[in-house]
Amino acid sequence: MSKIVDAAAAVASIPDGSSVGCVGVIGWVTPDTLLKALGDRFREEAAPRNLTFYFPVGTGDAQGIKGMDHVAQEGLMKRIVGGSYINPVDPVTGKRPELMRLIRENKIEAYSWPIGATMHWLREVARRSPGYMTRVGLDTYIDPKHGGGRFTERARDDLVKRIEFDGSPYLFYPAWKLDTVFICASSSDEYGNLSFENDALVSSNIALALAAKGSGGRVIAQVRRQVAHAERPASDVRIPGMYVDAVVVDPNMMMTTDVKFDAAFFGGSRKPLSQLPPIPMSADKVVAMRAAQEVRKRELSIFGFGAAADVPLVMAEQGKFANGGLQDYWFTTEHGSYGGIVMSGWQFSANLNPDAILDGVYQFDAIDGGLCQFAALAFAQFDEKGTVNVSKFGVANPGAGGFIDIAENARRLVFTGTFTTGGLEVDFDGGKLRIVKEGKVRKFVPSVEHITYSVASGVARGQSAQVITERAVFDVTPKGLILTEVAPGIDVRRDVLEQMEFAPLKMADQLKEMDAAFFASSLHDRKAG
């Protein structure tokens, strides 16, 4: 009997009070048709009610690919546990996602876990273990000492516990059942055998399917096309049909935001790097160019969202990958794409021209095992105790994503971002930087609003760390920040020290000037091969 059904039929039997897990990485591998069908059902029938949603990664862009915003409805969503949240301002409506409103107004129980935990927890659910135990995240916001990952006051249950094992502290995430999961693949036959030959990421697909089956639950897949049984080699089928209960075919699904389909994201074709559009000259680009100086050949380098993701792109502009040079640089992100060029913006998470794509759970095995030795990550706040925050600040509640796992386990860390934010305007003149308008929000603060990671503690146990901005560079020590570089044209007192809400530990004895070439507006000219 064929497992191919329409979306409304696929979600029709989800009962009140059940738990629903869903794959998705921003727009990548997002079963948007299934999420929309569930949201539509609730609007039409006022059912199902009081669901717990489990999103290992932030799913959808809350705009063209709405993802988790389809189900962000009072009454439908009781609780959400997510590895990250999407929080952009819609350029058309000027509004932030509906899910963010529900969180800000305390309408739902909201929890945010590090993505390493959301991935590895699925493995424990699948094998019916008591739960997931790890040292990653101790003394951060996910630690019960600092809130246990709660993002709303309604979130009162202890989903994470701090325990002691063999004389050492650990975080423990108790297992609970997933009743239904939505997954996303390239192809399915009538029996539900799934393959990912045209997808840029695998992410949590396999782990979600096995966790649902280990819980006695249902697996519903969304695919681009139906193929004949036995048309594909068995080695291409990553999820056997006996683990799949229903399949919805949507030939019009987007690959990701602004990309209908591009084979260069999964290695089906190769795109010349010269076809990449140049990054406009900006403060973020300056940050990326300075951070690029820290990238080493043949050292596995992992990049986070924001200015950090622009680093490989500016290296391409600088011609560092010409004549096969890209093979000397080993790039990845937390989502499992290896080789090629890390992309930024809505295309972040997948790489262009990748060499390999690793399953999401295994990728965090690699990250937690310290295989990504260099990490370039963003920062929203940095305080005088050497603590960094990217997870919750102001009206933004993005969560940590893979930040904590990456930061705790890399050897060399670079934190990238503008010095201030909220309206910052800069200009470039003759190889110098000029602050036209200072940002309203200072990012160097006495105490961060949310503890994402203690950089000072990491440095004390052997990591090295820098903070790179468009106007200044700091080394991080266990006792504080050392100002080591400033941009040409910058007044140190006015533009650096007076824009910080705490004093750095000291200035370097020989304060260096950042490379004037970073501030030449002609740098947007592409030199890639």
What is the set of active-site residues?
334
* Six-digit token string for 266: 């999964």
Q: Please give the structure tokens belonging to residue 92.
A: 């058309």
Contact call for residues 14 and 48 (beta carbons, < 8 A): yes
Residues 313 and 345 sit within 8 Å (Cβ to Cβ): no
| Spatial separation of the C-alpha atoms in residues 200 and 257, rounded to whole Å | 13
Phi, psi angle pair for 437, to nearest 5°: -145, 125
Instruction: Tell me which H or E stretch contains 122.
Output: helix 115-126
Contacts for 255 with CB less than 8 Å, ≥ 6 apart: 27, 28, 199, 200, 261, 262, 265
* CA-based torsion, 509, 510, 513, 515: positive or negative: negative
Query: What proportions of the chain, in percent to the nearest 5, are helix, strand and coil?
Result: 25, 30, 45
Contact indicator for 465, 439 with CB cutoff of 8 Å: no
Tell me, letter by letter, the H, E, C secondary structure of 3-16: CECCHHHHHCCCCC
Q: How far apart are the first and last CA of the chain?
A: 52
Q: Which two tokens stand for residue 151?
A: 């993002």
CA distance linking residue 250 with residue 454, whole number of Å: 44
For β-strands 161-165 and 180-188, DSSP reports them as unpaired
Coil, helix or strand for 490? coil
Measured in degrees and rounded to the nearest 5, phi and psi for residue 365 equal: -60, -45
User: How many C-beta atoms lie closer than 10 Å to residue 15's C-beta?
Assistant: 11
Q: How far apart are CA 156 and CA 158, in angstroms?
A: 7
CA distances from 423 to 312, 436, 439, 503 (A): 26, 10, 5, 23
